[in-house]
A and B are shown apart, each in its own frame.
Chain A
Amino acid sequence: MTLRLGIAAVVVGLLLLTCTSSAPIHIGVMVSADAVAGGQLAVAEINATGGIRGRALALVHIGRLDGTLAEPALEAAESLTADPAVIAVIGHSSSSASLSASQIYNARHIVQVAPTSSSPLLDRSGPFTFRLVASDVHQARYIAALVAAGGATQRTAVVYVNDDYGRALRDELRSQLARAGVPIVYEGSYVENEPLGDVPAFASAIAAPGSTLLIWLGRSPQLGELLPVLRTRIPAITILGSDGVDNLDTELNADGRFTGVRFVCFVDVHGERLKLRAFRERFGAIHGNQLSPEAVLTYDAMILLATAARAVGPKPEAIREYLVSLGRTRPAFTGASREFSFDSTGAPPPSYCLGEVTPTGARVISTVNGP
């Protein structure tokens, strides 16, 4: 009797295994629309090489809920975690969105890989949250070092986006600049997804203390809004942006308004790494020159998760352990952008580059690895 029951259980188990093994594995992608293309290209490559243990990989993107704000990110997280086929989520586009959604992913044991979120607050998100860029603690040091290298005569103004990204970066930069003896002559802020409002007044306020250097701890649209007016006030002002500026706006510099702007970047999309070149060629064949750093990092994130799932199976816990083991018991993962391994907070070692926008687009003028 027991033998029959055992055989029946094995048969049922095999049937269930057969049924489940044919269903595709889902990975949510909550990044900007241009970066989703990087993820789609990775999924195509993965499925073309056998998928994950014989199962197809599918990308799940909720377009109406992408972006940088927290509320749609939370709604997206609720929706993705309700899908039992979802084993991981790549996103979100901003630190605020990634930070708020991370609590849902960690509570429900879904692996989260944030491609571009750099807020130090993410260090406390939980064991299932990983990111592909270092904490802004390191970026603030990098920026402070760049400012200090320019000499103490610089009159530095700081404008930050008042969210978890810009505010944390501002706090760290404040500390670093004070330590470097660089005074901040002006400090202003703006709110994401809202117009700057009275731009001339904003520019006048920046110019009033005689600022010669503007450190922009925000994103490119508001900078692009401010720059034309600001340059009429302070023609020689130097603009140094944080990584938030590094996107298609600055990469393409379509109307030339970002020319001269320098910015901190994580990925040199024009780099000569073999994998990056191959990816760039495949991506370019489909999407032309619309390659953003977020798209490269989204591509790396998808390949990284698929590699983990292939190695240890499509279980979030196993994938998480796999990611933790990189650089420890397993070799670091070689992506298109860089080598990846993760510390105890889920962050990779810092690696930065300094870019400059030219009339024809952005270019990397220096690269720094390590703190």
Chain B
Amino acid sequence: MRRPRSLRQLFVAGAGTIAVALALLTVGILVLFVSLRGSFERDVSAGLAEQRTADDIVTAVYGQLLAAYREVKEPSAPNRARYESLDSVAYGRLRQYLFQPMATDARIQVETIKELHQSLEVDAHQAFDRTGDAAAAAGRIVEMERHVTALDLAMRQFVVLRERERTLEQKDQLHALERSLAAIVVALIVLAVAGILFVRTVMRRVIVPLGQVSQAAVRLGGGELLARIPHQRDDELGLVALSFNDMADNIQAARAEIVDQNAALLGTLATLRQAQQELVQHEKLGAIGLMLAGLAHELNNPLAGLRGIAELLQQELGSHHDPAVRKIVRELVQPLVTEAQRAGSLVRNLLDFSRKAAAPDGPVPLAAAIGVAAGLRQHAFTQAGMTLDVEIADSLYVVAEAQRIEHVAMNIMSNALDAMLSGGGTRVQVRAAAVDGDWVLLTFDDDGPGFREPDRAFDPFYTTKELGSGTGLGLTLVHRFVAEVGGTVSVENLPDRGARVAIRLRAAVAPLRPAVAAHLEPRSVAGVGTAPGHTDATVLVVDDEPVLRDVQRRVLVREGVRVLTADSGAAAIAVLQRETCDLVVTDIRMPGEIDGVGLYQWIRREQPWLAERCLFVSGDIGEWANDPLLGTHPDRFLAKPFGRDEYVARIASLLARPDPATVALLG
């Protein structure tokens, strides 16, 4: 393929063509000048011809004079004919001047010559008329001679005039031509200089900048993103250069952006892969959770029965008079109770661990939630001779799930109690305050031994408790629950002694109507019998598990309570239709058409005064937490396996409430 000629080559070719054209033009002008000079020379020839004409006229006139003279001397036809012939020649030559362009002076001279010739002819005629009078004829001839002489002189003057006229005209023409030539030469010089300047200017302002643009374009096209066109003049090419540089900047920026986006995409991909892995893990955990939920439900009932029986044995035989029995209680029954508790705690933790994160309930009254946990752990602290000091303003609300806040508090309180039991310490202080406007800082300070390895406090299955005493999931769950609601948790050892667990939760605006959880006030763990006016209370225990039903019956009977039992919801309804009960303790999941929920609905409908005194027990309390009917009374749930003390405390707490029947009667 033929390579196109570059602009520079074309420009040089064009300039060369122009130069050649100028040269040819110059040659042409010179040729024209030479031609005009030839024309002048021809004018000179014309002058010579005019001179010859003048000579012819003068010669003819002199010939006429001679012929006239002969005619006068010797008249003859040939003489007269010759005279006439010369007359025609002279007059014919004179007429040639009539229509030639000439100056007025020369034309007047022609008229003078013509008139002299006319006078000469008249003289000739008069001489011819007087051939008989020789003297008269001679006189006319003399007159003729005078006219001929005058004509000759006039003719010479005419020639001089014409010569001068032609000379002046030629000079004028020559001067005009010289001026024209000079002007042309000057024009050519100016044109040549202008051409050189033009070429130079075009080279500097067009060709070179275009080359720079071309080079920069090639470099940029080759991937050299830093290629730029040097600064140029403020003209079209300068604008092109600026546009090109802007384009290169844009390309460079776009490329950097693409690189960044690629990095971001790679990061996103990694995150996606991680999320995918987490999702897979969640799916696994979800499956495990399902399995654990079923397992927990199945385990909690026997564990509850086992724990209840063990605690009954411990209570029945702990004060036995036989030391051997008390030794058996101390060595066999007490561990049985402890292990049952531990098994229950493990099942609960596993259940919590497997539960999916639920959306925060919204505004949670922090004082109430912490109060529930404190109420549950207060008895243990008291029994250990320690103090659980809770002081939280009612105005503080946090964005969280109430039960999880309770669980978190329970975990931290339990950990602190366990740590102080083993490492010394007497007091746990729980405080909360609004910080940074949108946050609430909840702190648990104890004066125990502190964390051995604070950095590992949240590691799963990390525990410093004795083997078999902890699951290692407590603080891990705390961290998870707090993180799921957008908060943070940290642990540290206090300067002198003790440890601090600090939780930052997002502050919430207080709802117009206090949450149901507000009913969760700290409860006493005193026995049922200590509840005023209820030592003769009648409690209906409904559970499909005979062992659990019997254990509960035994515990309550020992508390001086009259206990009725039913193994199903339908049986319970039959009992309630027949007997007056002060409180109903019912399992939620039971076989048959009426489970615990159905029983509660019947109670609310048929014996509404008893609805406030229903305590629900279940192997999976979390399963019912979001129930629209039961979820409004979280303080009336008790998760299996429960301990005797907790169970009795809940019964006592409910029985301590005003008699619903009385309330109903009083209106």
Q: Which residues of A contact B (CB under 8 A)?
A: 69-71, 74-75, 77-78, 96, 99-100, 103-104, 107, 121, 124-125, 162-164, 167, 187-191, 194, 197-198, 201-202, 204-205
Q: CB within 8 A of B129: which of A75, A103, A188? A: A188
Any A CB within 8 A of the CB of B136 = yes
Contact B99 A74 (CB under 8 A): no
Q: CB within 8 A of B126: which of A69, A107, A121, A198? A: A198
Any A CB within 8 A of the CB of B27 = no
Contact A71 B98 (CB under 8 A): no
Any A CB within 8 A of the CB of B125 = yes
Determine the distance from Cα of A163 to Cα of B118 in the docked complex, in whole angstroms: 7
Contact A121 B95 (CB under 8 A): yes
Contact A191 B122 (CB under 8 A): yes
B453 to chain A, nearest CB (A): 94
**A124, closest chain B residue (CB):** B99
Give 29 CB contacts A-B under 8 Å: A69-B111, A69-B115, A70-B108, A70-B111, A70-B114, A71-B108, A74-B108, A74-B111, A77-B104, A99-B98, A100-B98, A100-B107, A103-B98, A103-B99, A103-B107, A121-B95, A124-B98, A124-B99, A125-B99, A162-B118, A162-B119, A163-B115, A167-B91, A190-B122, A191-B122, A194-B122, A201-B129, A201-B133, A201-B136
Determine the distance from Cα of A162 to Cα of B87 in the docked complex, in whole angstroms: 12
Contacts of A201 in B (CB 8 A): 126, 129-130, 133, 136
B165 to chain A, nearest CB (A): 14
Contacts of A204 in B (CB 8 A): 129
Determine the distance from Cα of A177 to Cα of B60 in the docked complex, in whole angstroms: 27
Q: CB within 8 A of B112: which of A71, A77, A164, A205? A: A71
B235 to chain A, nearest CB (A): 25
Contact A78 B98 (CB under 8 A): no
Determine the distance from Cα of A252 to Cα of B535 in the docked complex, in whole angstroms: 188
Most buried by A among B111, B114, B121, B136: B111
A346 to chain B, nearest CB (A): 14
Q: CB within 8 A of A70: which of B99, B115, B119, B133? A: B115
Determine the distance from Cα of A163 to Cα of B95 in the docked complex, in whole angstroms: 12
Contact A189 B111 (CB under 8 A): no
Determine the distance from Cα of A121 to Cα of B110 in the docked complex, in whole angstroms: 15
Other than the given A70-B108, A164-B114, A167-B118, 16 more pairs (CB < 8 A) read A70-B111, A70-B114, A70-B115, A71-B111, A71-B112, A74-B107, A74-B108, A78-B104, A104-B107, A107-B101, A162-B119, A162-B122, A191-B119, A191-B122, A198-B126, A201-B126
**B109, closest chain A residue (CB):** A71
Determine the distance from Cα of A312 to Cα of B58 in the docked complex, in whole angstroms: 49
Contacts of A107 in B (CB 8 A): 101
**A188, closest chain B residue (CB):** B125
Contact A202 B129 (CB under 8 A): yes
How many residues in B have their beta carbons less than 8 Å from beta carbons of A? 23
A55 to chain B, nearest CB (A): 30
B residues 65-99 near A (Cβ < 8 Å) are 91, 95, 98-99
Contact B104 A104 (CB under 8 A): yes
Determine the distance from Cα of A151 to Cα of B113 in the docked complex, in whole angstroms: 40
Contacts of A99 in B (CB 8 A): 98
B478 to chain A, nearest CB (A): 89
Contacts of A70 in B (CB 8 A): 108, 111, 114-115
Contacts of A125 in B (CB 8 A): 99
B657 to chain A, nearest CB (A): 105
Contacts of A75 in B (CB 8 A): 104, 108
Contacts of A103 in B (CB 8 A): 98-99, 101, 107
Contact A191 B98 (CB under 8 A): no
Contact A187 B115 (CB under 8 A): no
**A99, closest chain B residue (CB):** B98
Contacts of B121 in A (CB 8 A): 162, 189
Contact A191 B118 (CB under 8 A): yes
The 7 closest A-B pairs by CB, nearest first: A205-B129, A70-B111, A162-B118, A191-B122, A189-B122, A71-B108, A189-B125
Contacts of A198 in B (CB 8 A): 126, 136
1/0 per residue, CB under 8 A from A, across B469-507: the answer is 000000000000000000000000000000000000000
Contacts of A164 in B (CB 8 A): 114
Contacts of A121 in B (CB 8 A): 95, 98
Contact A191 B111 (CB under 8 A): no
Determine the distance from Cα of A78 to Cα of B129 in the docked complex, in whole angstroms: 41
Contact A74 B104 (CB under 8 A): yes
Determine the distance from Cα of A121 to Cα of B126 in the docked complex, in whole angstroms: 27
Determine the distance from Cα of A78 to Cα of B105 in the docked complex, in whole angstroms: 11
Contacts of A194 in B (CB 8 A): 119, 122
Contacts of A191 in B (CB 8 A): 115, 118-119, 122
B21 to chain A, nearest CB (A): 33
**A193, closest chain B residue (CB):** B115
**A107, closest chain B residue (CB):** B101
A244 to chain B, nearest CB (A): 15
Contacts of A190 in B (CB 8 A): 122
Contact B125 A187 (CB under 8 A): yes
Contacts of A74 in B (CB 8 A): 104, 107-108, 111
A77 to chain B, nearest CB (A): 8
Contacts of B101 in A (CB 8 A): 103, 107
Determine the distance from Cα of A100 to Cα of B108 in the docked complex, in whole angstroms: 8
**B95, closest chain A residue (CB):** A121
B83 to chain A, nearest CB (A): 12
A137 to chain B, nearest CB (A): 16
B132 to chain A, nearest CB (A): 9
Determine the distance from Cα of A201 to Cα of B111 in the docked complex, in whole angstroms: 29
A89 to chain B, nearest CB (A): 15
**A204, closest chain B residue (CB):** B129
Determine the distance from Cα of A164 to Cα of B136 in the docked complex, in whole angstroms: 28
B80 to chain A, nearest CB (A): 11
Contact A100 B111 (CB under 8 A): yes
Determine the distance from Cα of A188 to Cα of B133 in the docked complex, in whole angstroms: 17
